[in-house]
Structure 1
């Protein structure tokens, strides 16, 4: 890390950058500690995906893009999985910035190249940024809204200048920009969703595929970045193949049949009862729970506040009381889950208790615009209690509604304006009906007529993008270092932008201000305080009905892998977890022998049964 003075402003030139404090890994580091020097290259990793795909362009708000397209692109810099938010060299091997972070210069690695051998230069970065801002999904305009200018200083240096007052996170945010090849796209329509194989620079490229059903990524054998410290020990498979299935149950059967190698189980019933059979008994198919310290975010029923019916906070709160989590967890999920109490659950970012003095300093200026519960009550998602059928909470809901002027006539709840309280829950996964149907029965006892609207995956995606729903089941993920992306989740500027992630349509000036303050937090401590304050306001406005979470990954995988001795502290996800594993040829041979023996024994038993 080197420093100099430019126009009286200290400037740092470094291999890495941390949001707060110093990066963990020094300039001469060899690899991330959660990778292994023993990793072998080779073999095929067989995965599954749900639904279908019709596009290889995941950057635009059109089509249903294939999973894991990020494998074919390199970003300017890349993060580590054992720090809250630090970045290290990839396409750019050095980063230059002043103390106030009002601009950043990325020094491009002269060795960086696209798969066709064409060198990556600063003009590709400028082209990428401008293209994503003009033609990409709305999220890019939210991410980069504080970028004032992007200029290629020369072939290997590109400068991003930021608007006055921009978040100090912006250098790290723009470092995550994937770099697209200008020479490839100059005669093509970037806004088109199609299955033309794009040109990238990453460790993989698209191989064989069958539209909507299968896709294979082939490892680039002359990948330019293979020996970088941020790439050593990662991306070890020669091929990564995906088969697409209709639902989780079929995908699990594919795993048992050996069509799929590994699966993250999201259905607690399947985890508790579905993993049986000889392969599991003999240890060839392994089930394992791996703890993590990642924020689990918020899975919930989301209200669409653009619907006039849901503008009333009291009604939203009453509807939330009709969801019986305890019954759901005990009867459907085998007690596997914890109720989610925060938008930043399973992390130090989650609010708890009553506001601290530091939080009150942020909240008090808006006291007359906020629910009094923000200041006086600790948020707790409803608990059904000892009486059966969620009676305690339903009585609370009825009292809230009565006091607010709602009334029931002929078993139909009416608003104070005499409008019936009816709505749809938009869904694409039939497996979730078992959760929604009991919720609907609870609502019926309040005189609320709700029903499920099932659509296919493509229609669901389009309706979400266009906000054509009353209520949906959705997961809002969070990182360990919330920043600019919070604008796209909660800020009124994103409320009606098609394709934005403010699916609820929150349009609240207090939340706008809290978000704007959060992304300018100077220290980690300040960031945590701002996140706590925002979390409280979101929770007490009852924009969602919280579901549940677990703080470990449930993995089922064939015993054909080896893996590093250290598990990433914050992730066992696709990129930083599974991509550090590798296939052990000796184990593969053992599995093949065992499967052949099992099949032979099964055939022998079948023959004996026929003869008898």
Structure 2
């Protein structure tokens, strides 16, 4: 009898629905007890040093606040909540695999329990988990991290992302529960992305008072050395508690990782060619083709890798600040987009190795809007307020970026159409410039952190000049640009929007009305649209992948119809220059990011 009671108590402590991992609308690929992710080399050799680069400067080691520029390698971005997943310092409750759309597997959490009513989720922590100071990771630390990151002192993006979480509750020493305000199809997944840190890091201060204190967290690395604004070096923890877990096997193989800061991209490029860096991802195709040459490449010391990928790339585009009245008119936004001649750029600058961005979910086939709405999209649309803009988006073919066909005549037609739209919007050409009724000229400024963007912006400025608009591009410090964007003090900005292969809660911060006036949010455009708000709600409460995809297609269709950005282009491969002793597994995960891939899965072959 005593044995039976003990057994029943044990069963009640570990719910029958506790699982090792979850997929968003599908069964996760990796079963309980799996040994390692398929795309890693589980016995990859450990050791050596990896020297990388970053542009500009940094003035803090805290990635969770708006103020300042965080050091490279921390893994999280204070402006725009980009869960890099593979930050070197902070472990999260769960982690993703890079060969599935959106699955989460236990990391700090040994298992996950979603309540039958889907109004709470419970995580049981791994008793082996340790912070870098040797302390165990406890439920109270998880609660502290959540409460800190959703406070007013942290980046507002965290509050938007987890807005539907009512509270974090310590159940026992190793069990934490998150209660939800309402049902949300992915909230139990995205709260697993919570980075966990110790109170010992903040030492009684609020998170916005932490700048150069070394984080006390549970990740695979600690900070070894900081030369403020110039370099930061991370050292692999020999006592890393998760080194042999299936989700970490064969990963984080370098003993040290150092980021050296350069004034601009040209400095980084010259450093890798001189042999001072171990690897560099190049974003300029013209630089890659024309300048990555020399004796080190000829001798085989440096290797050029062109690595195809199929990851979702989102909408890379030029964002217009809708808080300025001149951009409120859709005709003006359309005219500005018509002047961007991608075909000419691709032929003359990109060696025909870029593709035009067509969607906010580029490269996610089931999420990209088709020519006309599907029956599933129409069903969702029927539940929305029937505004003229929505009806037009449903009636008309999906809006695609204008093409010139690479010909002067094609560009001329686009610019004539742009002039007509601007005239209809009340802008007329007189006294050498396009002017509104008050006589103010149409002048736009875009800030750039280095000169690599000039090769794209110069021909765009020429085209805009032909319709009377002056585009000024101004070289500025990266920290100043970040501050201006955080404060929404800009005309135009180059940004990447959307792009998740499983869209959900991040859409509140990307496009939701509530984030439009929240400084530091990802809603740089300042979009305030009830239809978009309703669509985000539809996507977030979707019961399965099919419903999520239908909602995403309709959102994509509507955003494209509204012409909020000038669609630019995306890369179909990564361009990486590396030392020949850096190696990586042959099987490449389809959803990988080049930066995290290099940090997590590469290794150094010993001479």
TM (norm. structure 2) is 0.92
1:370 and 2:389 aligned: yes
Q: CA deviation at 1:232?
A: 0.8
Q: Deviations over 1:72-119 (max 9, x none)?
A: 111111111111111111111111112442111100111111011111
2:469 is matched with 448
Aligned twin of 1:31: 36
* Aligned counterparts, 1:415-430, within 5 A: 415=436, 419-430=440-451
Q: How does 1:82-481 map to 2 (within 5 A)?
A: 82-134=99-151, 135-164=153-182, 166-348=183-365, 349-364=367-382, 365-370=384-389, 372-385=392-405, 386-388=407-409, 390-415=411-436, 419-476=440-497, 478-481=499-502
Residue 87 (structure 2) pairs with residue 67 (structure 1): no
Distance 1:77 1:142 in 2: 20
Matched, 1:540 2:561: yes
How far is the alpha carbon of 1:366 from its aligned partner? 4.2
Contact in 2 for aligned 1:47/1:260 (Cα 8 Å): yes
The equivalent residue for 1:610 is: none
Per-residue deviation, 1:343:
0.9
Give the whole-Å Cα distance in 2 for the aligned partners of 1:389 and 1:479: 33
Which segment drifts farther, 515-524 or 324-333?
324-333
Distance 2:409 2:209 in 1: 54
Tell me how far 1:334 sits from its aligned partner: 1.9
- In the alignment of these two chains, the number of paired residues is 579
Q: How far apart are 1:423 and its partner, in Å?
A: 2.1
Worse overlay, 378-387 or 526-535: 378-387
Following superposition, the deviation at residue 449 of structure 1 comes to 2.5
Deviations 1:119-178 (A, max 9, x none): 1100001111111111210110011100011110110000001012x3220011110101
Gaps of 5+ in 2: 1-8, 75-86
Measured in 2, the distance between the counterparts of 1:578 and 1:129 equals 26
Query: Would the aligned equivalents of 1:568 and 1:576 in 2 still touch at CA under 8 Å?
Result: no
Q: Secondary structure at the match of 1:12?
A: coil
The more displaced of 178-187 and 113-122 is 178-187
2:575 is aligned to 554
For residues 8-87 of structure 1, the aligned pairs below 5 Å read: 12-69=17-74, 70-87=87-104
The range that moved more, 93-102 or 74-83, is 93-102
Which residue matches 1:490?
511
Instruction: State the Cα distance separating 1:373 from its structure 2 match.
Output: 4.7
CA distance in 1: counterparts of 2:326 and 2:250, whole angstroms: 53
Structure 1 consecutive aligned stretches of length 4 or more whose deviation exceeds 6 Å: none
CA contact (8 A) 1:106 1:158 kept: yes
Quote the offset at 1:22 in angstroms.
1.1
What is the SS of the residue equivalent to 2:418? helix
Residue 454 of structure 1 and its aligned partner are, at CA, apart by 2.9
CA–CA separation in structure 2 for the residues paired with 1:271 and 1:263: 11
Alpha-carbon contact 1:295-1:346 (below 8 Å) kept: yes
Secondary structure class of the residue paired with 2:114: strand
Q: Is the 8 A contact 2:201 2:213 kept in 1?
A: no
The alignment status of 1:503 with 2:524, answered yes or no, reads yes
- Residue by residue over 1:536-573, the C-alpha shift from the partner in whole angstroms, topping out at 9 and shown as x without a partner, is 11111110001001222111111102322321121143
Does structure 2 retain, via aligned residues, the 8 Å contact 1:148–1:163? yes
Answer whether contact 2:393 2:558 (CA < 8 A) is retained. Answer: no
Contact persistence 1:11–1:99 (CA under 8 A) = no
Task: Label 1:454 to 1:193 Cα distance change in 2 as closer, same or farther (>3 A).
Answer: farther
> How many angstroms apart in 2 are the aligned matches of 1:74 and 1:406?
53
TM-score, normalised relative to structure 1: 0.91
Q: Partners of 1:374 and 1:414 in 2: how far apart?
A: 34
**CA shift at 1:322, angstroms?**
1.2
Q: Taking structure 1 as reference, are residues 221 and 510 closer, same or farther at Cα in structure 2, changes over 3 Å only?
A: same
Q: Hey, what's the Cα distance between the residues in 1 that align with 2:543 and 2:387?
A: 27
Question: Does the residue aligned with 1:333 lie in a helix, a strand or coil?
Answer: coil
Q: In structure 2, how many angstroms separate the alpha carbons of the residues matched to 1:457 and 1:578?
A: 24
Three-state SS of the structure 2 residue aligned to 1:127 is helix
Q: Which whole-Å CA distance do the structure 1 matches of 2:326 and 2:122 have between them?
A: 49
| Residue of structure 1 in register with 2:78 after alignment | none
Compute the displacement of 1:56 (Å).
Answer: 0.2
